[in-house]
Amino acid sequence: MNLTLNVWRQPNANAPGRFVTYPVNDISPDMSFLEMLDIVNEGIVHQGEDPIAFDSDCREGICGICGIVINGIPHGGKASTTCQLYMRHFREGETLTLEPFRARPFPVLKDLIVDRTALDRIMSAGGFISASVGSAPDGNDMLVPKNNAEAAMNYAVCIGCGACAAACPNGSAMLFTGAKVAHMAELPQGQPERYQRVVAMLSEHDELGFGSCTNHGECSAVCPAHIPMSAIARINRELTQAALRGYSSATA
């Protein structure tokens, strides 16, 4: 296959960026998208230039570190991670524009690499169950109905890639936040901190500069883990309940 790449190149966080065009020839349709970029980079290194920086680690769709906006859509619009795209998904002769994930709290570090530590900070605000090691009762002491376990799992599979925030016109990470809130609210173990959690996570989300949700649904459409929009409905419901019980960002 032959393609043309239009790639966002930016040397570091403080320098301005620009698009650079690279022709790509003789690519096998069986290659993964990132293997194609590896080959482009080998060529760039041979020419003595700086290769395109992009994040990747597991290359099997689970670690959540990869993420490129391809033709305007995070991860290229196949609802999989960038690393799980294969060249057979693209057309011969196509021009692809590659950009970093953009959202206010995701500053670009270099080329296609952004800083997503903001997502860790949302989690740090309340995305946990305070279970000290050594204190746990037997795993079967508290039964979890299969339906709840399955529902919790449907939300718990979020890979934390940040595509939701990059896809959202408002730059909201509500899908990410909602996935964790919903996962823990489904489980009996998550109940004691349930309302405190949602309030704390959401106020951190807002403070970090993520936008609010106005139900565009772009987030769920690009989500490689298929987190449903119900995560956001869930977060709103939890928030209302929390307010009724007197939890606010001041008490969390």
Partner 1 sequence: MTTVIETAPQVATSTKPLWYVSDQTLDAHVPAGPLDRKWDTSKADMKLVAPHNRRKHTIIVVGTGLAGGAAAAVLGEQGYNVLNFCYQDSPRRAHSIAAQGGINAAKNYRNDGDSIWRLFMDTVKGGDYRSREANVYRLAQLSIDIIDQCVASGVPFAREYSGYLDTRSFGGAQVARTFYARGQTGQQLLLGVYSSLVRQMDRGMVKMFPRQEMLDLVLVDGVARGILARDLVTGEIKSYAADAVVLCTGGYGNVFFLSTYARGANATAVWRAHKRGALFANPCFTQIHPTCIPVKGDYQSKLTLISESVRNDGRVWVPKKAGDNRPPNEIPEEDRDYYLERMYPSYGNLAPRDISSRAAKRVCDEGRGVGPGGYGVYLDLRDAINRLGKKVIEERYGNLMEMYEQITDENPYEVPLRIYPATHYTMGGLWVDYKLMSNVPGLFVGGEANFSDHGANRLGASALLQGLADGYWVLPATLPDYIATAKPEPITTQDEAFAEAENEIQAKIRRLLAVNGSKTVATFHRELGHIMWDYVGMARSEESLVSALSKIRHLREQYWRDVRVSGGPEELNQQLEHALRVADFLELAELMAIDALARDESCGAHFRVEHQTAEGEAERDDERFAYVAAWGYNGAEPPILVKEPLVYENVKLAVRSYK
Note the residues at the interface with ligand FES (CB under 6 A).
56-59, 61-66, 81, 83
The span from the CA of 252 to the CA of 203, in Å, is 9
Q: Does residue 192 touch partner 1 according to CB under 8 A?
A: no
- Give the Cβ contact number of residue 117 at 10 Å: 12
Q: Does residue 209 touch partner 1 according to CB under 8 A?
A: no
- Cβ distance to ligand FES smaller for residue 57 or 94: 57
Beta carbons of 169 and 218 less than 8 angstroms apart: yes
CB of 95 to partner 1, least distance (A): 22
- Cβ distance to partner 1 smaller for residue 104 or 214: 104
Q: Does residue 10 touch partner 1 according to CB under 8 A?
A: no
The span from the CA of 219 to the CA of 214, in Å, is 11
- Cβ distance to ligand FES smaller for residue 83 or 174: 83
Binding test (CB under 8 A) with partner 1, winner from 7, 40, 96, 119: 119
What secondary structure letter does DSSP report for 190?
Answer: G
CB of 113 to ligand FES, least distance (A): 12
The span from the CA of 15 to the CA of 201, in Å, is 32
Draw the binding track, 43-72, toward partner 1 (x: CB under 8 A; -: no contact): -xxx-xxxx-x-xxxxxxxxxxx-------
CA-wise closest residue to 224 among 142, 170, 166: 166
Written as six digits, the tokens of 106 are: 């995701």
Q: Does residue 109 touch partner 1 according to CB under 8 A?
A: yes
